[in-house]
Structure 1
Amino acid sequence: MKAYFLRSIYLYLSFAGMYLTLEETLGLFANGNVILFLLGIDCLFLSFVRWKWGRIFWYGWNGLVFITGAFLWKKVFAGYLVVENGGRKQLSSYYHMTLAQKKVPIEGEQGELFLVLALTLLVCVLGTLVVQKGRVAMLALIQMLVFTLELVCGSSFRGPGIYLVVLSVFALWAMGNRRGGKNQGILFSVGVWAGSILLLLAFVCGALLGPALYKRADKLNRELYGKVQEVTAKMSSAVRSQNGLWGDHTPTADGSLNNYQVEQSDETDLEVTVSEKPEQTMYLRGFIGDTYEGTYWHRIDEDEFYKEFSEKDAAYQIQNILYRYVQKRAQEEENTAVVRRVQPGGEYGYVPYGFQVPDDGNLVGDSYYASTEEELEYSGYVKWNTLVGNGPAPEAESEIEEIYREYVAQQYLKVPVEGLDRLKEYCAQYDFGSVQEVLDFVVPTVQEGRPYSMELEPVPAGKDFAEYFFFDQKKGYCIHYATTATLMLRLMGVPARYVTGYMVNDDEFVESAGGFTAKVPDSQAHAWVEVYREGKGWIPVEVTPGYASISSEESENQGGSSDLESQTTMPEPTPVQETATPEPEREEELQPAEPTHPTEEEKQAAPEVNGENNSDGAMMAAILRVFLGIFAVAAAAFLCWTGILLRRKRILENRQQRFMQQDRNGGICEISYGLYQMLRDADVCREYTMEDGEYARMMEDELKILEKGEYEAFLRLVQQAAYGNQELGEEQRKGCLGFYRKIAVYLWKHMDKRKKFWWKYMKCYEIS
């Protein structure tokens, strides 16, 4: 009893430590006191499971918890989303990638009920193994899996939770699974002393070793993530080399950069409905690339953004600069645009330029709209570009936009400190006097002599993606042109950023009940560049061959409205600096992207867009799904196996109770009937019309283990028990039971291996 109680305490501390580490890792705000209190009640009842009344209380408590969860399933689901969002936020922050937050259907939900259900399920699965049998292997395995997931999520393990887990599992292991009254007393004494010392060490270690462990854990986190990423990339490459086990994949363009073969199925990704038919190509921006690191674009660091902008609605104000600029100058009524996801998944709410981004808590800094809703509605202006070509805004759109100009000049001129030597040297040869001159140089430069192609060899190890495209490979598709152009613009002093999303040609909109609708296939995922225009916001610039180009002739006709604007001097960032901060005297007129339709030859030579979907965000989401899938499969398999074992145990116990019932004659008859069933299942017993003696001799021939006359003697005892007036003795019943078990063991040893699982676990016969 004492050992049961102590094991229950250590099991509780182990799960309490698990919860504390999860709370720390995922940034949960659930009421931990309530969760740990309810977990404590469960473990308290578990400590009395040795007695029947204890099992009743324990089963009753768990049943009550699960019934409550079933009735409040919406709250449980909302709690799961809260926990998932915590993981997404931690991954996004730690790895500087993009994982959108899921919308929680219940406002204010913190996930208490979901966490209680999850911990209760673990207690149910592991309780009897740990407390009754003293086995800790499965507990240790589950804790290691959770520990690994937390490492991948960037856990710092500063608190005592990790020490509670490790040391309580160690204490359970030290107690072992010895049985006997004397051993139980020894185990209790050892457990009390060892547990007291270990738990004291847990809190001391948490206080003293937390900072040191954090540094090591941080390094381990990144090494582990790097290994997982490397293995995943190799597996992905191997699969693609065999034409893919996953088949075609539909991208929702992101920040990944590679030369993988793009597979497009032309399945519809989005449906876009607008109230007024566009007269030009519509761009739907999704991912925004902030920092370039050779093989991918990182998203914005939200923490850094909010250090500069503490206002609650800063993201909303900044992301809608272009919309407000157009709104002030538009004479017609606002249009509506509805973007509906056809394919499930995706981490962005795709926003048309010139439309207002909603302030619904899904805005990520100044960059993108992280909404996973199936259908999103925007208000704005389809013909926004006709209202931004009348010269630069003479004044800041707002006070926050004036501050944002300085932020743009700092943040969006960043280039890597190391690397890009050839591209830096190339760009340093040129000196232009205006933004438009830079654009007129960069756009044709990245295109000329570099045809569009998706048939590419992998980027060699150690080579930079942009430099390899520009100087060596000299062919590519939209992500190559957009990445290289963004870097060249930054190196020449023009704040720019990398964007992926979708583009929809104006002739693809057809009249519908809601206005004009276009179906957007996966082949129209695309990448382009954004350039910031003071007072007007971020404007798309097309740089991919076969689409639009901004020629110097267009610049003269549409761009420079004054000599001052055309002669605006552009600051030249020092290539070896992480950040350059130019202070332009006055922003000149820049041209919005005016895409022209590719010719038929260009369409044949250049498939439209990038279809790759292997960003850090998508990769980590896939890794998490794999881990969680493995955990779910393992848990389900363990539950099924536990159920099978418990069922076998119950059937064997019930059969034994029938055989050893108080009525000895009735018990012998049950043994006879049980033997008949067993022989029939083994395909030994056949229907017969012969006399009992003849049948007995036939069975003795079939079952080589039986001696002559043994089966016939058994049948005589059964007949006496069934039809005689005198109750047989206990020795005679034990003889019949021994005869039954003798045949059971013989059948098991001589059974086909393919049938043994069915025999042992489905029919539940004795095997020894």
Structure 2
Amino acid sequence: MKQTKSLHFSLLPAPEAQQISIGAVVQGSILAILFFLGIGGMLYWAFAPSAMLEILIPIGIVGCIIFTFVLRKRSLRRLGLIVLALWLVGFCLILQTDVLNGLCLTANRIGEVLGQSFGRIYPIYDISVDQSGYELSATLFFIPVSLLLSLLSGYLAYTHDAAVSLAITAGIIFIYVFLKIEIAVIWLLLLVLAQFLLLAQAYGNRQNFYGGFTTAYRSVAAIAAGVFALSAIVVFLTVPSYENSPLKNTRESLIRTVDQIRYGVEPTLGMPDGDFTNLQAFEPSDETALEVTMEKPESLWLRGYVGSVYNGHGWSESDSKSLYEYADIFYWLHRDNFYGQKQLADAAAVTGKASYDQAFGIHVNNVGASSRNIYAPYELYMAGGELMPADIIGDTALVSTGFRGQRQYEYLSLPNIVKRYPDIMRELYGDDAETKLSTEAFLTVESNYAEYIYDQYTQLPEDTTRWIEQYLSDVLPTQEEANYANVKQAIIQYLTEQTEYSTEPSQAGSGDFAYDFLFLDKEGYSVHYATAATLMFRACGIPARYVEGYLITPQDVQSAADHSVFQIDGTHAHAWVEVYQSGVGWIPVEVTPPYFGLMEEADSLEGVPGTRPESTPAASPENNTVENQEEIPNQVDGEKAVAGNLLLIILIIVFAAAAIFFLWRYWKKRQMQFKKKVEACLNEKNNEAITAMFICAMDALSTLGLKDGGVWLLEQLRRELKPVDGVSEKRIAQVFAVYEEATYSAHEMSQESRKEMEDFIEEVYLLLRERFVGLKRLKICGFLKLAAEIKSAHEKR
């Protein structure tokens, strides 16, 4: 009797139509709230310090709960988004003034953060309310932002989109680290917790995170722990504040190597840019470092690297955060066209000691020196905005822009007036009626710059101050008795009598470069002398900076014609100290014995530390005394710095662990898929093996342009074969017939049919190997490996 079978169909409700479980909503809400608190808290902490969190956080939490529910109901999603959009538009229109003020406050805060990070002046937007209304305006602006963040958090909780959440988390962490923003630990921990739970859920196929889920947690934790050691090594190698790290020398060596590659530094053609770690002997090369073309040949000090802060093993630039305290001063200085890099030339111009007619062009081609520095004279008269941007704070030197720095540049200079700056200084403070008006205006502006100078460049580390007072108090004049002349004389006399010039000095290694030179080794070359002299000038209340650059000597320019090209080699590299003279600005001072008389200098230094002549119309002397200067704000103590370093380690570890985790997950998934394909293609049943091999072959041919749409019909394949060169229609028809028979017939396929499909796999294999070479082969490496497995199994049979 013939048996009959009947087919039964049943209609099941779509997942969206099924009742949403309360547990799923609660779980999603918790995850969304954690993300909102982490993301929102980090952003509010950095960019909205005046906003009222007691209002924004409850709004965001309620929004997370609502959006978690709405996103799970397809029928409510579109309506919910429309309502939110209409509400946001209405809210912003009704409270337009307050929202715009809040936007401007936020933009100003972002500019402040950027300024503290990069030492630049960013635009400040006008606020139409007084300071008492800042809190309300900022809060009203961030209410819509909170709702949008809660929508984003609800989306992450609903979709478990690990890629988006990791991108957001990594972006926030990068912003904090890159901009050196102080981290609020509580918000960071909440963000890390939310990210951890989402990763664990994604790993555990979206099971709930409060029970029966220990395997996923253990896996994620194991990966994080495994990354810790590698991340710690990377952090100790790359974070500059780890001064006591056992890998300190390795880290600094790595940084120097990177800088040499980035800026094309040739050590034998220049100086160490203030880094005295593992300082080598001074063995300058006679190869060209700079090609300098001057319209009118002049002997000049070409200032390059300027060291502002002494750290015991070298010099560094001033901290951007402390520089930003003077943003207002430099904004107005630059608005008045006052730049510290060209102060000497401006002083000469306003006193009539020099004019534009005397200015001449200089073109510099940096052949082998460090391109991080722009080499320019003290007589600089004019430079382009790229070299001397108006938004920079500090005016230490010209700015070399670009990742690799600048190799060629031009500027205008006055003739050598360093040697006659006392005449300019006397004219500035003189009673000449013809120049009185211009000099008064100039000195009024200059007094603001001098305030910054005396704050920044009379500072010494506590340890340095201690040993200077202990060992040099009898050598240096007291600040009450000091003037520029007797301080210079005392410094040069001590250095000449107590130390010896040597291009191959020994290194005691006590941890303080200047201390070793002055009291232990007592030998060194220009970097040693310039460093010691800078510290000693500062100890006497005279603003001073450490400088590296190149010397174009009177002998070099002797008898040279106009527009001559000077080949400045490594023997011209030198370090010196520059001191600030009231009115005229920075003046180079030679303190290295073998170089005495090599360059033209004034007969003596003039002036009194921290004061001006009584005739000055600018600020009174009391305003410039070192004793009356306030301490530089925002100094970070040691414990706070250590805490910040630990937080930085945590951030890098979390990000690295997440990245490695997902790379590992992706690799494991691909491996699992490949294993299943191999098992299917090597199945003992010929029908299943033939079907699997044909599917794999079609997938592989898709890389050559075959578009089958996932539905295999012979006529469709023939049409799509036209753009695929190397596969004939006849061959496709043959293997398609075998595939069709294996898939839809009830009988067992023969070994010959299986062999025919294996031969087709081999043909596709050879075709792809021919078409994909080099890195392109990575695209089809999976199929190539699969074909090799099939061939190997066939040979074994």
Coarse TM-score class (shorter-chain normalised): 0.5 to 0.7
Match of 1:360 in 2: 389
Distance 2:166 2:590 in 1: 55
State whether structure 2 residue 249 is matched by structure 1 residue 234. Answer: yes
Q: Which amino acid aligns with 1:361?
A: A
2:426 aligns with one of 387, 393, 401:
393
Q: Quick one: which of 540, 543, 555 aligns to 1:495? A: 543
Would you say the 8 A contact 1:482–1:529 is kept in 2? Answer: yes
Q: Deviation string for 1:2-31 (max 9, x for gaps)?
A: 88999999799969967995898799xxxx
The alpha-carbon distance between structure 1 residues 457 and 586, as it changes in their structure 2 partners (threshold 3 A), is farther
Q: Any idea what the Cα deviations from partners look like across 1:702-732, whole Å, max 9, x if unmatched?
A: xxxxxxxxxxxxxxxx99x869999984462
The 5-angstrom pairing of residues 158-557 of structure 1 reads 158=184, 162=188, 165-173=191-199, 175-179=201-205, 225-227=240-242, 230=245, 233-235=248-250, 249=267, 254-261=273-280, 268-278=288-298, 280=299, 282-300=300-318, 301-306=322-327, 311-313=332-334, 316-319=337-340, 320-327=342-349, 328-330=352-354, 332-342=357-367, 346-356=371-381, 358=383, 359-361=388-390, 363-372=392-401, 374=406, 375-390=408-423, 392-395=425-428, 397=439, 398=442, 399-405=444-450, 407-430=452-475, 431=477, 434-461=483-510, 463-505=511-553, 515-521=563-569, 524-548=572-596
> In structure 2, what is the Cα distance between the partners aligned to 1:229 and 1:240?
16
Conservation of the 8 A alpha-carbon contact between 1:261 and 1:454: no
The separation in 2 between residues aligned to 1:345 and 1:18, in whole angstroms, is 41
1:270 is displaced (CA, Å) by: 3.6
Q: Are the structure 2 counterparts of residues 739 and 149 from structure 1 closer, same or farther at C-alpha, using a change threshold of 3 Å?
A: farther
CA-to-partner distance for each residue in 1:572-599, whole Å, 9 max, x for gaps? xxxxxxxxx5567699xxxxxxxxxxxx
Structure 1 SS opposite 2:380: coil
Distance in 2 (CA, whole Å) between partners of 1:724 and 1:533 is: 94
Do the aligned residues in 1 keep the contact of 2:687 with 2:742 (CA within 8 Å)? Answer: no
Aligned-pair distance for 1:322? 0.3
Q: How does 1:650-689 map to 2 (within 5 A)?
A: none
Q: SS of 2:550's equivalent? A: strand
TM-aligned CA deviation for residue 544 of structure 1: 1.9
Question: How big is the shift at 1:436?
Answer: 1.9
Question: Whole-Å Cα distance in 1 between the matches of residues 193 and 660 of structure 2?
Answer: 27
Q: Deviations over 1:318-348 (max 9, x none)?
A: 4132011223312653111223444697444
- CA gap of 1:312–1:354, structure 2 versus 1, over 3 A, is closer
Residues 239 and 253 of structure 1: CA distance in aligned 2, closer, same or farther (over 3 Å):
closer
What's the TM-score once normalised by structure 2's chain length? 0.51
Against the structure 1 CA distance between its residues 536 and 676, is the aligned structure 2 distance closer, same or farther, given a 3 Å change threshold? closer
Question: How far off is 1:467 after superposition?
Answer: 1.8
Name the structure 1 match of 2:748: 732
Q: CA deviation at 1:169?
A: 0.8
- The change in CA–CA distance for 1:231 and 1:274 in structure 2 (over 3 A counts) is farther
Q: For the residues of structure 2 that align with 1:267 and 1:494, how far apart are their CA atoms?
A: 37
Deviation at 1:489, TM superposition (A): 2.0
Determine if contact 2:686/2:751 at 8 Å carries over to the other structure. no
User: Structure 1 pair 241/227, CA: closer, same or farther in 2 (3 Å)?
Assistant: closer
Alignment of 1:567-646 (within 5 A): none
Q: Distance in 2 between matches of 1:265 and 1:651?
A: 62
Counterpart CA distance in 2 for 1:537 and 1:726 is 92
Distance change in 2, residues 1:6/1:513 (3 Å): farther
AA partner of residue 289 (structure 1): G
Q: How many residues align?
A: 542
Q: Secondary structure at the match of 1:392?
A: helix
Aligned residue identity for 1:234: N
Cα distance in 2 between the residues matched to 1:465 and 1:736? 83
In 1, are the aligned partners of 2:517 and 2:528 still within 8 Å (CA)? yes
Q: TM-score, normalised by structure 1?
A: 0.53
Structure 1 Cα separation of the partners of residues 189 and 693 of structure 2: 57
Q: Structure 1 pair 188/241, CA: closer, same or farther in 2 (3 Å)?
A: closer
Residue 233 of structure 1 aligns to which amino acid in structure 2?
K
1:466 shift after superposition:
1.2
Q: 1:497-527 deviations in whole A, cap 9, x for unaligned?
A: 2222333345556999992223444564432
SS at match of 2:490: helix
Q: Percent identity?
A: 25
Instruction: Check conservation: 1:659, 1:670, Cα contact below 8 A.
Output: no
Note the C-alpha offset of 1:446. 1.6
Q: Between 640-649 and 411-420, report the one with greater CA deviation.
A: 640-649
Q: Deviations over 1:640-691 (max 9, x none)?
A: 996997699599879979999xxx99987677899999xxxxxxxxxxxxxx
Alignment check: 8 A CA contact 2:197 2:209 kept: no
Moved more, 476-485 or 731-740: 731-740
User: Which letter does structure 2 place at the counterpart of 1:527?
Assistant: A
- Per-residue CA deviations over 1:421-440 (Å, capped at 9, x if unaligned) read 44324442244664223222
Over 3 Å counting, the alpha-carbon distance change for 1:361 and 1:761 in structure 2 is farther
Q: Distance in 2 between matches of 1:15 and 1:739?
A: 59
Contact 1:239 1:245 (8 Å CA) reproduced = no
Alpha carbons of 1:17 and 1:729: their partners in 2 closer, same or farther (altered >3 Å)? same
Deviations 1:405-448 (A, max 9, x none): 45545543333334444432444224466422322231242234
Conserved 8 A contact 2:290-2:567: yes
Cα drift, residue 135 of structure 1: 9.4
Unpaired stretches in structure 2, ≥5 consecutive residues: 1-14, 17-23, 49-63, 73-109, 123-155, 214-234, 430-438, 617-647, 699-733, 759-778
Deviation, structure 1 residue 636:
12
**Aligned 1:38-77 pairs, distance under 5 A:** none
One-letter amino acid matched to 2:418:
N
CA RMSD of aligned residues (A): 6.7
SS in 2 for 1:339: strand
Structure-1 separation of matches of 2:742 and 2:328: 95
The equivalent residue for 1:598 is none
- 8 Å contact kept, 1:25–1:153: no
- Structure 2 CA distance, aligned partners of 1:525 and 1:732? 87
Secondary structure in structure 2 of the residue aligned to 1:379? strand
Question: Does the 8 A contact of 1:101 with 1:371 survive in 2?
Answer: no
Quote the Cα distance in structure 2 between the aligned partners of 1:20 and 1:241. 37
**Structure 1, unaligned stretches of length 5 or more?**
28-39, 49-85, 104-128, 192-219, 572-580, 588-623, 678-717, 743-756
